[in-house]
């Protein structure tokens, strides 16, 4: 078996690119290709297969990798190269894994061979490159030994040790390597291991250094990557977004529609005492007749708030109202309508009318003291406020309100009240977004309309990122010449995807925008009004709820299609529909008519969305389809 067949290559491209202005280093252009493409070209001939570890701009990396996998970190929060190494080892189908960073396009073409020779000779768990370096500030000083831990060959069997190391919270490569038997391999050409950390260094090497030839085989493909399937995009968003941490304590009356940040623990039993489930007569179950009938003497009355506290004797009962405490010794309530006869202070009860213990609500039956009344993550509704109040609790801990900035883009847009020039339209999307965000309970920041100008759009995105947790734009993400959003996202943050296999809403961008130390998630929605609503419903809304710490799962129902629906496989379609009840009592759905993404009236008329899944084909009349209800959402 050849050495190459034993080795998987891993390109480490999962960092933040902090020293390069937080751009994605691996995708920076360099001598006719991207940095990562040069690394791939130099790595591929040395290994059996290649994977790329990346946490941003996954479609671009997938286009570069071809059939090879692109692997985001398993750990959250850009945890460093060890997180990339972990996911690489989890994937690794061979006995050895070779790592190389995406910003070092000059490493030796015999790297694998030399590291492997040292591993065998020293019976090591791993081997890494070292060079002798000179300090430019002290040219007379002796050279020092510099290790390059990101250029390493490891046995795949070290994965359990790495998992255990990361579980401690440690993240330093040197710390983990100290737990292994390491072979160091001295390379004479220190320049071969140069890494490009800043744009200045990139420009310097662009002018001076020869890059690795971009060979045939795995490498960048012409054109953009294909549209991402909806399910993949939804999963990617879910993996990247985490709830906000900030918590505030509010009076109960101010907590409606807020997300609970801590479990509500009941300090009392609910009900607090045994009480009657209905109006009737409280008695001792042992006194009930086994045959014939018995006349009971009514000796008092019990109301909620005014209990009867006297102990009962044989064949005595107490008139009792719903919610009143059960008198001492009683364990049964006879509903008044089941009495055989009522004459003054006497009630006759026939045998087998009720069983002993009937019609009581026991203390703690709904909720026991110390139990969880409402769990963390619940979006508090009116009934929840009532439940909390019934426990005597007047304040609750909730997640802080999510701040969401939004604006529309386009020279053709006019605000309400402006003159409508030829070729212009009124901006409807901002009002739609305002309504959906407000209903969701967000703190909305309306930034108006931004013109089709790259500088204006970049300034707006930076301002929004400094103010908000999330940004929602409409327009500016299609493939038109004046659509800048995607390119600006890549320059001041990252783009996870920008094109989906769906209708309406194919051009939809998601990523992160940076503004100094601040950053915000960006959802670049299409400009067509219906596409805005559908893409918000399917992508932005679940993500915002997740950021709020609330349940975000959408519930579907199944309904019978009244008419045939045309659908081609290969994309998910969301068609506007009207759900009703058929003559047989079963749910049925029909489309609202024309389904163009600019036909806003179809959304206003609809009460649901008909979901036609990625691989689904034409639907015949009478077939069942999945339906999402609008009620309370849009």
State in words which class domain 257-269+368-399 has.
alpha beta
Token duo for residue 324: 């009143």
> pLDDT, tens digit, for every residue of 224-244?
467 889 988 888 888 888 898
CA angle 489, 65, 215 (to 5 degrees): 115
Amino acid 495: pLDDT? 78
Long-range Cβ contact pairs of 240-246 (< 8 A, separation 24 or more): 240/55, 240/496, 241/521, 241/543, 241/546, 241/547, 242/76, 242/546, 242/547, 243/399, 243/546, 243/547, 243/548, 243/549, 244/399, 244/400, 244/402, 244/469, 244/547, 244/548, 244/549, 246/399, 246/400
pLDDT at 196 over 90: no
Q: Which residues are annotated as a binding site for GTP?
A: 12-14, 25, 53, 73, 103
- CATH code of the domain made up of 403-548: 3.40.980.10
- 556-629 to CATH, choices 2.40.340.10, 2.60.40.10, 1.20.1240.10, 3.40.50.920: 2.40.340.10
Amino acid 482: pLDDT? 42
**17, 50, 101, 124, 486 from 5: Cα distances, Å:** 32, 12, 21, 20, 39
Amino acid 207: pLDDT? 56
Amino acid 632: pLDDT? 55
Residue 19: which pLDDT band, with cuts at 50, 70 and 90?
confident
State in words which class domain 275-361 has.
mainly beta
**144, 202, 235 from 137: Cα distances, Å:** 13, 22, 49
Please tell us whether the domain made up of 4-225 is placed in CATH 3.90.550.10: yes
Alpha-carbon distance of 481 to 593, in angstroms, equals 32
Mean pLDDT (the chain, rounded): 88
Q: Which residues are annotated as a binding site?
A: 12-14, 25, 53, 73, 103
* 275-361 matches 257-269+368-399 in CATH topology: no
Amino acid 236: pLDDT? 84
Q: What is the pTM of this model?
A: 0.60
233: helix, coil or strand?
Answer: helix
> pLDDT, tens digit, for every residue of 77-100?
788 899 999 999 999 999 999 999
71: helix, coil or strand?
Answer: strand
Tokens 């623990």 sit on residue: 265
> pLDDT, tens digit, for every residue of 253-304?
999 999 999 999 999 999 999 999 999 999 999 999 999 999 999 999 999 9
pLDDT at 414 over 90: no
pLDDT average, residue stretch 328-343 = 94
- Domains of the chain, by residue range, sit at 4-225, 257-269+368-399, 275-361, 403-548, 556-629
Q: Which residues are annotated as a binding site for Mg(2+)?
A: 103
> pLDDT, tens digit, for every residue of 466-480?
999 999 999 866 555
Tokens 């050409």 sit on residue: 189
């Amino acid at each position: 078996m050849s050495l190459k067949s034993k080795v998987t290559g891993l390109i480490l491209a999962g960092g933040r690119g902090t020293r390069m202005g937080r751009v994605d280093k691996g995708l920076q252009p360099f001598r006719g290709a991207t940095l990562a493409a040069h690394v791939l070209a130099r790595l591929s001939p040395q290994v059996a297969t290649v994977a790329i570890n990346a946490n941003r701009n996954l479609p671009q990396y997938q286009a570069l990798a071809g059939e090879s996998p692109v692997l985001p970190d398993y750990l959250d929060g850009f945890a460093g190269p060890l997180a990339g190494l972990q996911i690489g080892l989890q994937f690794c189908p061979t006995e050895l894994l070779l790592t190389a960073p995406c910003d070092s396009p000059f490493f030796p073409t015999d790297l694998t061979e030399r590291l492997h020779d040292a591993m065998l000779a020293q019976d090591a768990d791993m081997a890494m490159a070292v060079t002798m370096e000179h300090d430019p500030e002290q040219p007379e000083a002796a050279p020092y030994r510099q290790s390059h831990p990101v250029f390493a060959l490891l046995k795949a069997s070290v994965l359990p040790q790495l998992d255990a190391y990361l579980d401690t919270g440690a993240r330093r490569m040197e710390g983990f390597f100290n737990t292994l038997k390491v072979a160091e391999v001295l390379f004479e050409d220190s320049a071969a291991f140069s890494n490009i950390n800043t744009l200045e260094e990139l420009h310097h090497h662009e002018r001076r250094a020869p890059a690795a030839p971009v060979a045939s085989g795995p490498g960048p493909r012409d054109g953009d990557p294909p549209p991402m399937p909806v399910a993949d995009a939804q999963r990617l968003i879910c993996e990247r977004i985490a709830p906000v941490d900030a918590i505030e304590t509010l009076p109960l009356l101010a907590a409606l529609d807020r997300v609970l940040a801590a479990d509500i623990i009941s300090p009392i039993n609910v009900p607090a005492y045994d009480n009657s489930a209905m109006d009737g007569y409280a008695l001792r179950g042992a006194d009930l007749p086994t045959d014939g009938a018995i006349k009971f003497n009514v000796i008092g009355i019990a109301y909620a708030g005014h209990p009867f506290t006297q102990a009962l004797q044989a064949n005595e009962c107490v008139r009792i109202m719903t919610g009143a405490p059960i008198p001492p010794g009683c364990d049964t309530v006879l509903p008044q309508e089941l009495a055989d006869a009522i004459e003054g202070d006497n009630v006759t009860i026939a045998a087998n009318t009720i069983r002993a213990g009937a019609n009581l609500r026991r203390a703690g039956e709904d909720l026991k003291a110390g139990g969880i009344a409402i769990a963390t993550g619940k979006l508090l509704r009116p009934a929840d406020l009532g439940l909390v109040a019934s426990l005597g609790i007047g304040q609750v801990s909730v997640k802080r309100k999510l701040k969401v900035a939004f604006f529309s883009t386009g020279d053709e847009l006019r605000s309400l009240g402006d003159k409508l020039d030829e070729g212009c339209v009124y901006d409807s999307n901002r009002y739609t977004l305002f309504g959906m965000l407000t209903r969701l309970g967000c703190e909305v920041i309306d930034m108006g309309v931004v013109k089709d100008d790259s500088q204006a759009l970049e300034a707006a995105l930076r301002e929004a990122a400094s103010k908000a947790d999330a940004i929602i734009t409409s327009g500016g993400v299609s493939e038109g010449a004046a659509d800048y959003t995607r390119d600006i996202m890549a320059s001041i943050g990252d783009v996870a995807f920008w094109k989906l296999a769906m209708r309406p809403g194919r051009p939809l961008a998601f990523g992160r925008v940076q503004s100094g130390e601040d950053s915000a998630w960006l959802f670049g929605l299409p400009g067509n009004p219906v596409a805005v609503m559908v893409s918000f419903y399917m992508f932005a809304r679940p993500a915002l709820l997740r950021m709020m710490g609330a349940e975000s799962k959408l519930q579907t129902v199944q309904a019978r299609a009244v008419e045939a629906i045309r659908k081609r496989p290969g994309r998910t379609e969301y068609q506007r529909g009207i759900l009703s009840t058929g003559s047989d009592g079963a749910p049925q759905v029909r489309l609202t008519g024309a389904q163009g993404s600019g036909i806003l009236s179809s959304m206003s008329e609809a009460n649901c969305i008909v979901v036609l899944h990625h691989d689904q084909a034409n639907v015949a009349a009478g077939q069942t389809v999945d339906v999402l209800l609008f009620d309370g959402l849009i």
